[in-house]
Chains A and B, each alone.
Chain A
Amino acid sequence: MTNTPLLLVGIGVLAVGTFSLRFAGPALRSRFEVPERIQQLLAVAAIVLLTALVATSALTDGHGPAGIARPAGVLVGGVLAWRKAPFVLVVVAAAATAAGLRLLGVP
């Protein structure tokens, strides 16, 4: 069904491109002495990105909202994490909440 050479080109460029994106940071940082304040800002940048990733992957699906079951599961996991519950519990509770709600027919 699919054009194999074109598929290989797509996969190849995605692989090389993705590696380059990942390698860019370490490659740049090894050339320059980065001031303390910039280093701190970069660490905060990673946290900002990860937090945004949490929010978008919890609340959205494609270009629309993600329904109710998934955000509810993430919320349960988040509250447990905030209350310093063991990590295992956070993960299992989040998945179980979402799965349970879906079993009950909640989207």
Chain B
Amino acid sequence: MLRRGPFRDGAFRSPLHEPRTTVVLGRWLGAAMLICFLTGLFSHLLQDPPPWLAGWLPSRPAQGYRVTQGLHVISGLAAIPLLGAKLWTVYPRLFEWPPARSVLHALERLGIAVLVAATLLELFTGLLNTLQWYPWPFPFRQTHFWLGWLAVGGLLVHVAVKAPLIARNWWRSGPALAQRRAFLGAVGAAVGVVTLTTAGQSVPWLRPLDLLAPRRPDVGPQRLPVNRTAAQAGTQSTPPDWQLRVDGPRPYRLTLAELMELPQHEAELPISCVEGWSASARWSGVRVADLLARAGAHAGSAVKVTSLEAAGPYRIMEMPAQYASDPLTLLALRVNGEVLDADHGFPARIIAPNRPGVLQTKWVARLEVL
């Protein structure tokens, strides 16, 4: 049969379309995907824990979510050049002839199509989510989550199928190809530049190089970024008769002035967003544990927090007992010494260690002992 174009024998002549280069890149890409998957899973479990797990989520280390979610976005962005380079090295395989040698071979190729499509879509949606840009018709969070399982499952299948080839090329260093060294060096440099120019949104000492990330941790009202503004939530103005309502065995209400008179505590905690940015601030306010104890809650009570916002998936937030009793968990009234801006949750917001930003409820109206 006459084969043309990319199907022609020898159509791809670069010596870098060979297994050793692919295996080296595959190792880097696999590591990035695995970090991305595990940190994403952790984020999902923190944000939406199944009931059996909720009591086991740790409130420490306080910076935990900042580190894992920062890593999630850093490894996801690093995977973009790695995936591109990896797919380029194996691109000629797309034009194998015959297209399928057996049913098993056809299934393997189908599996690779699923793996590549899921990974491309995963990285693309993740990147655009950091910008809050959603041009697709499906919901981001759920789709991103399930695609992650599909991609990592596909990766394991791929590794199992290619295991002998991977094993043969894992340690092999020869024949030395100067071009390979240059190519891998360039891909490494690409990963480095992408990381250096974006990671500053979560890594404090890289902040000066934060040129391309959608956030700057020091830009926003009171020098802190905002995920959802008061205007977006419809909470620009607080009702003039606002009172914090605390429901429990001994329910009570407090005005803002009364809250300010209670013992104030200070905590240096980050706001860490699922979108990958995080910023530390000095929060001060009343310990949630003190407020709950005053309502007659017994030690080890969980709490349900309701926001003033009329709608939104995080209007009501449940906080497991280990967070509620953590002395770092505050009903914050001030940030960096100033009364909270409306965008940061005036009159009062929750700030707790090791929790995603969307669960740090703003514009708090009510605490309810569970």
Q: Do A and B bind each other?
A: no
B residues apposed to A, CB below 8 Å: none
A residues apposed to B, CB below 8 Å: none
